[in-house]
Structure 1
Amino acid sequence: MEGKNILIIGGNSGIGYALAKQLHAQGANLFTAGRREPEGISSTHMNWDVVKTPAADAFTQLPDVLHGLVYCPGTINLKPFHRLTTDEYRADLDVNVLGAVGAIHAAYLALKMAKGSSIVLFSTVAAKLGMGLHSSVSVAKSAVEGLTRSLAAEFAPINIRVNAIAPSLTDTPLAQNLLSSEEKRDSGAKRHPLNRIGAPDDIASMAAYLLSDQASWITGQVISVDGGMGSIK
């Protein structure tokens, strides 16, 4: 990753922050966008609220050539279907899908100029498995998977690769309500064949790989990093 220009949206916590630290250590030139600047790493930061500001207005410091874009913002809104409103579905779509669309629009020309770049998006194991209380996030992340495959097909002739990662329960600030006690953590771990919840670095390492030249023949994929939950019992 030495010398490559990588944009991470949502790089101040969780998986995005773990990825920023990994890429910083590998010598990448980091550009970050979000409501807060990542601490402890060197990056060119652009303040951006995904749901309030058009990405084109916020991404004013992008380089002319961009080798990678990672869109990390997500939501966890777990409720019974009868308690979810259409506004809540819309809010999940805004953050997970339309935010990604706006970011890719704003960075498209810079990604194209690299003549070999990579976009990494995030889905969830719940888009593959039927999981109660997950209808809103499943709808949004299923749309991310459709976007991933469609853009991978459209962008392949200009050598922009597009892939998504589908994690299961991961120890991030977004999931803290699900991990608020040792009992909940133990229960969450036991649901996975590998008998633990994910760590941010588990997911970030896959994202770093998909950004690298080692993954130059991989596109249009939704890759599960989920402790086996989506495939085995």
Structure 2
Amino acid sequence: MQRVVIYGGTGGIGRATARALRARGYPLHLVARDAARLEEAADHLGDTTITAGDVTEPGLADQVAKEAGARLGGLVYAVGTINLRHLARLSPEDIETDFRVNALGAFLALQAAAPALKAGAGAAGAGVVLFSTVAVAQGFPSHASVAMAKGAVEGLALSLAAELAPQIRVNVVAPSLTRTPLAAAITGNETLASGIAAMHALQRLGTPEDIAALASFLVSEEAGWITGQIIGADGGRSMLRTKG
């Protein structure tokens, strides 16, 4: 199996996806800001190389592409933001940061890795997974900045899925609220979290493992005829109304 690059590989969803892909036998290359956490994750996972850096740093994607190797089996861009503010409280800097981290970062990561992904693609193609949010399809108050950025991710994925086929498959996972460190300001308030959970048909919030199960499948050869899809892992939130 060829190595899979995971941006955000020490975070909630990224770390869970790393575990799921290692369970499938994939060697990994993790990218994150915290070098100490990267080293700990690599030691725990085994057969894992690392690059420390921030996705907003110029040249990081090229560095990752060089260090990860000339042949890759997949790429997961699990870096994101949760910047929830009303329209009047959003600044141009907020918008730019959300776009750079979510959309531009994904573009640069995939652009730099594309030659190695093509070189490493097997019969099922190399699998790329990007992340959006249920808020793109649903429309929630205070989500303008992040939904705009993640909407750009969806457009990017569809365009590149067409352009890079058949060697590279590109899909998007669009979660609803998930119990990750990034979402702790929301999920840490159990009254608020319980209220949001009740808005889902399955009556609970997501876990990193829920999302990782889908992401690792989409990278794998089992998903060899799936590309250009935006798939909700959202407890039914995007499509179903709860009772009452």
- TM-score band by shorter chain is over 0.9
Aligned: 1:7 with 2:5: yes
> How far apart, in 2, do the equivalents of 1:112 and 1:57 lie?
18
Structure 2: gaps (5+ residues) = none
* Contact map agreement 1:46 1:60 (CA 8 A) in 2: no
* Structure 1 residue 26: Cα displacement: 2.1
After superposition, residues 18-167 of structure 1 pair within 5 angstroms as 18-36=16-34, 37=38, 39=41, 40-42=44-46, 43-54=48-59, 55-115=61-121, 116-157=125-166, 159-167=167-175
Structure 1: gaps (5+ residues) = none
Moved over 4 A (4+): none
3-state SS of 1:99 partner: helix
> How far apart, in 1, do the equivalents of 2:20 and 2:172 lie?
18
TM-score by length of 1: 0.95
After superposition, residues 152-231 of structure 1 pair within 5 angstroms as 152-157=161-166, 159-231=167-239
> How far apart, in 2, do the equivalents of 1:147 and 1:136 lie?
17
3-state SS of 1:183 partner: helix
Give the letter aligned to residue 45 of structure 1.
Answer: I
> C-alpha deviations, 1:198-232, integer Å up to 9, x for none?
00000000001101111101000000000000001
> How far apart, in 2, do the equivalents of 1:51 and 1:122 lie?
17
* Structure 1 residue 60: Cα displacement: 3.0
* Contact map agreement 2:5 2:31 (CA 8 A) in 1: yes
> C-alpha deviations, 1:93-140, integer Å up to 9, x for none?
000011111111211110010232011000000000111000000100
> How far apart, in 2, do the equivalents of 1:119 and 1:48 lie?
20
TM-score by length of 2: 0.91
> How far apart, in 1, do the equivalents of 2:222 and 2:63 lie?
33
Residues matched between the structures, number: 230
> How far apart, in 2, do the equivalents of 1:65 and 1:57 lie?
15
* Structure 1 residue 58: Cα displacement: 4.2
> How far apart, in 1, do the equivalents of 2:178 and 2:58 lie?
28
* Contact map agreement 2:2 2:120 (CA 8 A) in 1: no
